[in-house]
Amino acid sequence: MKLVLVCSSGGHFLQLYFLKELWKDYERIWVTFPGNDTEYFLRGETVFWGHCPTNRNLVNLFKNAILALQLLRKERPDAVLSTGAGISVPFIFIAKILRIKTIYIESLTRINELSLSARLVYGVADHMLVRWPELAARYKKTEHRG
């Protein structure tokens, strides 16, 4: 199985990185932003650097959509797995268009309301996993996974 792991740097990256038990046995490609954390932890991994910042930046949204289209068409992964944030949105949408499975894992810090990126992909992602039962009760298309 081949995975594309997509996330912003910082907390979103650390969350996905520390879910290593989910992805460690599979072929994988990372898409994130360059930074001290990502460059350190991803030494030896296949990494594509996304365009940041993504907050309210339409130019970088477009650049990341092009990156998503090119990468996903070339690599044809079995699934795209993401913990957010902004960079995940174009990847989830493009993956859906290409009929690639998508899994979005909402941030541990989200207890009562979905993040903006999660709300944007809520109806598109094949699976949206949340960590809190309160969140799963409020959003019926989510799956509580603790």
Give residue-wise pLDDT tens across range 108-142: 889 899 999 999 999 999 999 999 999 999 999 99
* Among 92, 80, 90, 69, residue whose Cα is nearest residue 29: 80
pTM listed for this prediction? 0.94
**Which residues constitute the domain of residue 83?**
2-144
- Dist. CA 99–CA 96, nearest whole Å: 5
47 three-state secondary structure: strand
45 within 8 A of 16, measured Cβ to Cβ: no
Average pLDDT taken over every residue of the chain? 95
Exposed / middle / buried, residue 82 (Cβ in 10 Å: 0-12, 13-18, 19+): buried
Instruction: Output the domain CATH number for residue 73.
Output: 3.40.50.2000
């996330």: which residue's tokens? 7
Residue 99: band (very low, low, confident or very high) from pLDDT cuts 50, 70, 90 = very high
Residue 55 is predicted with a pLDDT of 83
- Dist. CA 134–CA 81, nearest whole Å: 23
* Among 92, 83, 79, 95, residue whose Cα is nearest residue 121: 92
For the chain, the domain total comes to 1
């989510």: which residue's tokens? 142
Can you tell me the mean pLDDT for 68-76? 98
Give residue-wise pLDDT tens across range 8-28: 999 999 999 999 999 999 999
